[in-house]
Structure 1
Amino acid sequence: MRVLRGAAGRGQVTFVELFFDLIYVLGVTQLTHLLITHLTPLGALQTLLLLLALWFAWVDTSWVTNWFDPNQLGVRLMLVVLMLLSLIISASVPEAYGQRGIWVAGAYAAIQVGRNVFVVLALGRAGADESPEQRSQRLGLRLNFERLLLWKSVSSALWVAGGLSHGSVRLMFWAIAVVIEYCGAAAGFYVPRLGRSTPADWHISGRHLAERGQLFILIALGESILITGTVFGERPAVAPHLLAFVVSFLGSVALWWLYFDRSAEAASAVIDQSEDPGRIGRSAFTYFQLPMVAGIIVAAVGDELVIAHPDGHSGWATIVTVLGGPALFLAGHALFKHSVFGGVSKPRVVAFAVLAALVPVGLVVPPLVLSLLATLVVAGVGVWDSLLPAHHAPATT
């Protein structure tokens, strides 16, 4: 079975991958609802751990489909199984810290271990016309996934142990598992006798991975707009709710503009032409896109709070989500741009500082005004970017 992509198809995102992404629309929506019903530090930590689980399940699969052709029957069936398991996780998010903890943990462990077992077995089979160079590449890739399988087996065991536990013990097991997974790539998935991987070993199609990352940002933004429309539809059609709805929509547009106006396509070109695409892919798209996704989710929670109660006193939950969501996004985008283009994005640093300075302002202005101020800050970064010459944008913004 020829499961690896040919040279002509390395950069293409297939319809099967787009179908796979649909499951994560539900996942992001469920996380938003979980956070808004548990707006406490503990609730934020619980939501973060589940976000990391969904993110690792999605991004690790995106790396696999960078090499493996989803149009091949075996790979397509593997993706369908992963979709079902991802759907179980997404549907179980509201009760992840209750009766369905083992559902989440078991499905997640099956995704991470099962996917890597499939890859290792598939890479163990040589094609009939395999050249010595192809054989070397295949065996090197298999060795990397053997290391990855061992790391994922350890973290998955901790997820299952957490799913079988309760309360703070479950939280502890899952937090340790996340730390292991997050540190794995930085450690090169080191395994005694098998050595460690380097970013150069993960020779990817940069354009494919970049487009996959861009699509997930669109998923998160689409969920934000869905929340905005749903909450507005449940409220009286009066001026304060309407204005809050418009400001929330413009806030989502501003986040989209920052990411897609210049940096998305420019980043795709940089990683596609890089001699070390694995390094950029790991930092920019595996690590630094995560704060942006988290920021969109937090901002969606803030939008729901503002549309529901646009006037009156701004509580701490509203202040933290309305300002914290864009701040998280800006921080992640600044790190993303640094890892791809180098340098420090001054507009994003300034905007982050302004959002922090607006915290005391939130104590004296209504939620609608605070949301408008946060949206203007993000839009200001977009205006600042647009004033820079286009051919200098990747290096200086």
Structure 2
Amino acid sequence: MSDTRREPVAQSAVRVSTLELFFDLVFVFTLTQLTRLLADELDWTGAARAALMLGIILWMYGGFAWLTNAVIPNDRLRRTLMLVGMGGFLTISLAIPDAFGDSGWAFGVGYFVVNAVHTGLFILAGGAGAARAMARLAPVNLTSATLVLIGGFTPGWWRWALWALAFAVDVAAPYIRPIGGFTISPSHFVERHGLVVIIALGESVVAIGVGATGLPVDPALVAVAALGLTLSYLMWWVYFGDGDEAAEHALAAVPEGGRAMVAMRAYGYAHFVLLLGVVVVAAGTKKVIGHAGDELKLAQAVALAGGLALYLVGDAAFRRALGLGNAGYRAAGAALALATIPLGLVVAGGQLVALVAVLLLVLAVEARGSGRPLRPAGRP
């Protein structure tokens, strides 16, 4: 690789701070709560609730990744405001299990606080360019946060409608107000979002332990737990197999004028689908542990296969946005994952084995097509 391609990454070698890692611990709890919600209510309504809340939460969580990409939390005021933002996220997380019931107000208030901290920090400390860009985007974010806040105090379908409208405003925000004024540091941006994916995959491992709680540790339980861990590992490989540097160079190669929008497509829209897939797989895995020899209910089989399909589709969209490899292999893998649903209706362990085989096949075919060895890349 030439020095010309390495230069943009070297110029923007800002790394994730320990305070950001501490901030991410709150997001672990958010994903735990969403997985628990979906596992307890594994139907279309539960899936819609989890997807809507994840979309709303992830928009503002991603906003903090953009914030710390431009604002280093290196003084008392910034760190204090980051702590207030963490408190807002913690409030949101606590409200998740009953967010469509009595805890809706807490979800709305927490989200409004997080939005206010994000906007304030960006305008106060983000620099002239980021402040101007945020001033354009702030009214749209405020509209979304207000809809979430009001929705938290309204009953029934009004809450659904207002929160769905808030999510729609979030998705459309980069097109309503251009985001070209934000400066993206590729190394920090790629690393921060990679850590989010690691956190999410960690939740899928935690789901194995939670699902096994209270069960006798016998060879069958160990075998199905190992299968679940292997599935999580292969999901890690799918995302991180090329190493961080490939994504850094791809993002750095985009001209600065269009880099923010490419980052939004790759790390905003695509990562929502990808992370939703991880949550759904974790909920499905939690149900399977301890019942490897049993038939799955349709919802459980769909969760396992559909979650992995969402993950692969999200990863394909992420790769397409950055121009990384042939995304078609991942899309084909999603179709194969869905084809395992009938097997899960016969035996749960068989579906887990089939899903592991699907990921191995995708990775092997992709490696052969690219002419590289079948092993994950990494930093030297």
For residue 116 of structure 1, what is the amino acid of its counterpart?
Answer: T
Deviation at 1:84, TM superposition (A): 1.1
Q: What residue in structure 1 maps to residue 221 of structure 2?
A: 241
Q: What residue in structure 2 maps to residue 148 of structure 1?
A: 137
Aligned pairs (5 A) from 1:185-196: 185-187=174-176, 189=177
Deviation at 1:353, TM superposition (A): 1.9
Q: Answer whether contact 2:137 2:179 (CA < 8 A) is retained.
A: no
Q: What residue in structure 1 maps to residue 320 of structure 2?
A: 338
| DSSP 3-state at the match of 1:236 | coil
Aligned pairs (5 A) from 1:124-139: 138-139=127-128
1:52-71 alpha-carbon deviations (Å, 9 max, x no partner): 12212211011011111112
Which structure carries more relative contact order (alpha carbon 8 Å, separation 6+)?
Answer: 2
Q: What residue in structure 1 maps to residue 329 of structure 2?
A: 347
For residue 283 of structure 1, what is the amino acid of its counterpart?
Answer: R
Which of 150, 154, 158 is 1:161 aligned to?
A: 150
Provide closer, same or farther for how the CA distance between residues 180 and 235 of structure 1 changes in structure 2, counting only shifts above 3 A. Answer: same
For residue 85 of structure 2, what is the amino acid of its counterpart?
Answer: L
For residue 84 of structure 2, what is the amino acid of its counterpart?
Answer: V
Q: What residue in structure 1 maps to residue 378 of structure 2?
A: none
TM-score, with normalisation over the residues of structure 1?
0.86
1:258 aligns with 2:261: no
1:268-296 alpha-carbon deviations (Å, 9 max, x no partner): 22213432321221111111111111111
Name the CA distance, whole Å, in 1 between partners of 2:38 and 2:12.
39
Query: Which ranges of structure 2 fall in alignment gaps of 5 or more residues?
Result: 1-9, 376-380
107-116 or 22-31, which moves further after superposition? Answer: 107-116
Query: Which ranges of structure 1 fall in alignment gaps of 5 or more residues?
Result: 1-6, 124-137, 190-196
1:359 aligns with 2:341: yes
| DSSP 3-state at the match of 2:203 | helix
Name the CA distance, whole Å, in 1 between partners of 2:82 and 2:13.
17
Q: Could you say which structure has the larger radius of gyration?
A: 1
Name the CA distance, whole Å, in 1 between partners of 2:273 and 2:125.
33
Name the CA distance, whole Å, in 2 between partners of 1:47 and 1:257.
25
Deviation at 1:348, TM superposition (A): 1.2
Q: What residue in structure 2 maps to residue 206 of structure 1?
A: 186
1:38 aligns with 2:41: yes
Provide closer, same or farther for how the CA distance between residues 81 and 9 of structure 1 changes in structure 2, counting only shifts above 3 A. Answer: farther
Deviation at 1:263, TM superposition (A): 5.3
Q: What residue in structure 2 maps to residue 375 of structure 1?
A: 356
Provide closer, same or farther for how the CA distance between residues 270 and 332 of structure 1 changes in structure 2, counting only shifts above 3 A. Answer: same
Deviation at 1:8, TM superposition (A): 7.5
1:324-355 alpha-carbon deviations (Å, 9 max, x no partner): 11101100000000000167423212212212
| DSSP 3-state at the match of 1:381 | helix
Name the CA distance, whole Å, in 1 between partners of 2:328 and 2:33.
34
Name the CA distance, whole Å, in 1 between partners of 2:111 and 2:311.
26
For residue 150 of structure 2, what is the amino acid of its counterpart?
Answer: A
Name the CA distance, whole Å, in 1 between partners of 2:202 and 2:324.
29
Deviation at 1:172, TM superposition (A): 1.1
Q: What residue in structure 2 maps to residue 71 of structure 1?
A: 74
| DSSP 3-state at the match of 2:241 | helix
TM-score, with normalisation over the residues of structure 2?
0.90
For residue 71 of structure 1, what is the amino acid of its counterpart?
Answer: N
Name the CA distance, whole Å, in 2 between partners of 1:144 and 1:322.
41
Q: Answer whether contact 1:120 1:146 (CA < 8 A) is retained.
A: yes
For residue 113 of structure 1, what is the amino acid of its counterpart?
Answer: A
165-174 or 8-17, which moves further after superposition? Answer: 8-17
Aligned pairs (5 A) from 1:19-98: 19-98=22-101
Name the CA distance, whole Å, in 1 between partners of 2:261 and 2:149.
31
Deviation at 1:161, TM superposition (A): 1.2
For residue 70 of structure 2, what is the amino acid of its counterpart?
Answer: W
Name the CA distance, whole Å, in 2 between partners of 1:232 and 1:380.
28
Q: What residue in structure 2 maps to residue 300 of structure 1?
A: 282
Q: Answer whether contact 1:113 1:149 (CA < 8 A) is retained.
A: no
